[in-house]
Chain A
Amino acid sequence: MISLTSPVKTRAHGWPAGGKLLALCVVSVVLFAVPDLMFQFAAAMSVVLLYALPGRVFLRHGLRRIWPLWPFVVVLLVWHVFTDAWAEGVVIALRMLTAVALANLVTMTTSLQAMMDVVSWLLRPFARFGVNVRAIELAAAMVIRFTPVLGEKGTALALAWRARSRRPAGWRVIVPFMVLALDDAGHVSEALRARGGIEMDKKS
């Protein structure tokens, strides 16, 4: 599966994921707490600088990720020009872009494994209250494996439909698609049970 981590290795890849997440939380709260134009402008420029440091490929990659926000920027600016409060509009638009760009930055420089480790660490205290951390990890792994598998099956069903009809498949293929997924779930859980199941750890 395609990942959202950056194609360029940066120094931030080596930093602990927990620290990056904590810093992101703090900075995001501060961004939303200070509605000052100069502050927001400085924050936005610092983020651009952070993106520019690892080089042009990284910068372009990052910009492409926040590009889908442009309709919101347009709406905000148009709205505020009409209500004659353009400075407020600029503050809100900058804040939104900075917050999203920073969060993307953490995602781009942190591997899925490192993120998963933070989650496991956070969940550990809950294991005492009956939360099966192993089941959650297993489910996550299964989603990663099954999303492309189901994607292929969905494509195949849609193609089979096209072979029989001139009209596009649309929602009608969703029923057989879900029947396939439910049957798969039955097979996979039987296979899992035959190999010891997810309660395996508890017994030993």
Chain B
Amino acid sequence: MNSEHNVVQIALFTALIAALGLVPQLTLAFGVPITAQSLGIMLCGTVLGARRGGLAALLFIGLVALGLPLLAGGRGGLGVFTSPTAGFALGFPVAAFATGWVMERLSGVTVVLAAGIAAVLGGVVVLYAFGISGMAIVLGRSLTEAALLVTAFIPGDAVKAVLAGIITAALYRARPHSVFSRS
């Protein structure tokens, strides 16, 4: 593994998170169009591991701040960080890192289970902790009230965590050396 591969891998995963949120054909069909962007964050951790996955998500959110419309629905710019959903955006790198961290610690478990657990803990628990805090601050509500506002989205994200497990396992079969969290 050389440093070029490292940088390119991180950059391509960042582009992947963006593409998952922007390409309408890639929305997960559950009746309502749910974008796959937070799935991208989970996959960063389960595939790239804590450090690289966290860096990819950090680069993503950094470019959003610089003014690139990379968030789902073409949102972006500094306004994202003062809006009620700021916590989710700021939580992306931490969530990806946490997902990768858990993934790396579950090396004794099968890939599909390890990735699923890691995605739930990092991509749902950690991400929502940030998201709810941000919403509570911007909207001037208590944490419980803010949590009530986002409960509707939790089932969808739990499904994405399951998908992250399945996708990571399939990827591990197709390109074992590319799943760094396992090598």
A residues apposed to B, CB below 8 Å: 1-5, 24, 28, 65-66, 68-69, 72, 75-76, 88, 92, 96, 99-104, 106-108, 110, 112, 115-116, 119, 132, 135-136, 138-140, 142-144, 146-147, 149-151, 154-155, 158-159, 168-171, 173-175, 177-179, 181-186, 188-190, 192-193, 197-199
Contacts and interface: CB of A to CB of B under 8 A. Distances in A.
- Per DSSP, chain A at the interface is helix
Given A149-B15, A171-B39, 11 more contacts: A2-B74, A3-B69, A96-B139, A107-B67, A136-B59, A140-B59, A155-B23, A179-B175, A182-B12, A184-B12, A185-B12
A144 B67 CA distance: 12
A132 B12 CA distance: 18
- Most chain-A Cβ atoms within 10 A of its Cβ — which of B3, B9, B25? B25
B107 to A, nearest CB: 20
Interface string B11-36: 11111101110110110110000001
A143 B7 contact: no
A102 B40 CA distance: 29
Interface string B67-86: 11110011111111111100
Nearest to A146: B15
A147 B8 contact: no
Given A2-B74, A175-B174, A151 B16 contact: no
Interface stretch (B90-98, B113-121, B123-131, B163-171): B163-171
A188 B8 contact: yes
Contacts of B74: 2
B68 A3 contact: yes
Interface in B125-177: 138-140, 149, 163, 167, 170-171, 174-175
Contacts of B170: 175
A112 B67 contact: yes
A100 B14 contact: no
Contacts of A184: 12
Given A107-B79, A175-B174, A158 B26 contact: yes
A198 B6 CA distance: 11
B127 to A, nearest CB: 19
Contacts of B19: 147, 150-151, 154, 177
B7 A66 contact: no
Given A88-B140, A115-B67, A174-B36, A185 B9 contact: yes
Contacts of B69: 1-4
A197 B78 contact: no
B18 A147 contact: yes
- Most chain-B Cβ atoms within 10 A of its Cβ — which of A147, A150, A159? A147
